[in-house]
């Protein structure tokens, strides 16, 4: 099943929160990003998350950015041409 990058990032964030038993709001707090920013990402209101934001999330989760993207969700991303 292929998906867009924004959808994959959203799902990865939700999966990581579930694995760690934390809420999205808690992740925002420990990552130093606003709850509204993370809420927009996880509710599909913002599908263009920056690498900088992903890095902050990774820092909060104590994982590398490589570990974040090393997931089956990112193996079949749809090509996005605009």
**Among the ranges given (13-17, 33-37, 60-64, 75-79), the one the predictor scored with the smallest mean pLDDT:** 75-79
Question: Tell me: the pLDDT tens digits for 37-47?
Answer: 999 999 978 77
Domains and CATH numbers, the chain: 5-72 (1.10.260.40)
The per-residue DSSP string of the chain comes to --B-HHHHHHHHHHHHHHHHT--HHHHHHHHTS-HHHHHHHHTTS-----HHHHHHHHHHHT--HHHHH-SGGGTTBPP---
Of the chain, the percentage scoring pLDDT greater than 90 comes to: 74
In this prediction the pTM is 0.89
């Amino acid at each position: 099943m292929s998906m867009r990058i924004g959808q994959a990032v959203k799902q990865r964030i939700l999966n990581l929160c579930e694995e760690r038993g934390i809420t999205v709001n808690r992740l925002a707090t420990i990552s130093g990003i606003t709850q509204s920013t993370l809420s927009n990402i996880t509710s599909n209101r913002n599908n263009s998350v920056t690498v900088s934001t992903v890095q902050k999330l990774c820092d909060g989760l104590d994982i590398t950015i490589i570990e974040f993207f090393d997931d089956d969700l990112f193996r079949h991303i749809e090509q996005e041409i605009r």
